[in-house]
Amino acid sequence: MKRTIIFSIVCLTASVCSYAWGPTGHRATALVAEKHLTKKAKKALEQLLGGQSLAMASTWMDDIRSDSTFDYMADWHWVTIQDGESYEQSTKNPNGDVIQTLERVIQELKSGKLSAADQAQRVKILIHLVGDLHMPLHVGGGADRGGNDIRVTWFRTDSNLHRVWDSDMIDDTRLSFTELAESLGKPDATAIQKLQSTGVRDWAKESMGYRAQVYEYGDGRLGYKYSYKNLPTVRTRILEAGIRLAGILNEIYK
């Protein structure tokens, strides 16, 4: 009970306590990554995850939110960086954040010192949080819990700005995660190399760069016009996340 109360307090003060991409977005990200794995990395991950696909493993961090045993991971999904700040200048969350966690997990996986069970858990965290970091509202400014406090309507249905980005725009395409992943296109080798040459903090800075665009929501009655302007960004971020996730996994399991 005590842990539940603490978690509730954290949710009231955090930048975001909602999901990042919904299941469709996360699974599409992971499927893009699967398509860009080396044979060696793919074989290692199939063995490590017991045959479970990256796509199915991608939602583990959201699935466990109902288990209080994992409450300590709640703040790992997001980070607060004020406008005009860098991550290095930002006030750090003592419970951790998405940047701290990704950097730590990557190093732990590269060390080769983890048990198979711990390694599998870290891979699931990695898959999910690379997706989270590419969702612009998971790098929040600290004022509205990553858009959760901004009430809007989506085609006359009550929603909030965060939900519009994590699932509303994606779900309205009526695409499955496999269809969504396939529709994102296939970057050439030069584009892939460029995407994979950047790091976790670069991706956070990119997400911050979308703030002005994200917050142009007018009177809050959102629909075709907002989707037309922003769905291409959602698609781009999912593709970028998948390509970069593959790059990390290929480096770990080379």
The predicted model scores a pTM of 0.91
Q: What single DSSP character describes residue 165?
A: I
Per-residue pLDDT of the chain (254 residues; tens, 9 = 90+): 333 333 333 343 333 445 678 999 999 999 999 999 999 999 999 999 999 999 999 999 999 999 999 999 999 999 999 999 999 999 999 999 999 999 999 999 999 999 999 999 999 999 999 999 999 999 999 899 999 999 999 999 999 999 999 999 999 999 999 999 999 999 999 999 999 999 999 999 999 999 999 999 999 999 999 999 999 999 999 999 999 999 999 999 99
By C-alpha distance, which of 95, 41, 45, 53 is closest to 72?
Answer: 95
For 135, the enclosing helix (H) or strand (E) is none
Domain 11-252: CATH architecture, name and number where available: Orthogonal Bundle (1.10)
Contacts 24+ apart (CB under 8 A), 190-197: 192/36, 192/243, 192/247, 195/240, 195/243, 195/244, 195/247, 196/243, 196/244, 196/246, 196/247
Environment class of 121 (CB within 10 Å of its CB; exposed 0-12, middle 13-18, buried 19+): middle
Backbone angles phi, psi at 204, to 5 degrees: -65, -40
Tokens 């990395």 correspond to 41
Whether 166 contacts 22, CB under 8 Å: yes
Sort strands 79-80 and 139-140 into parallel, antiparallel or unpaired.
parallel
Domain ranges of the chain: 11-252
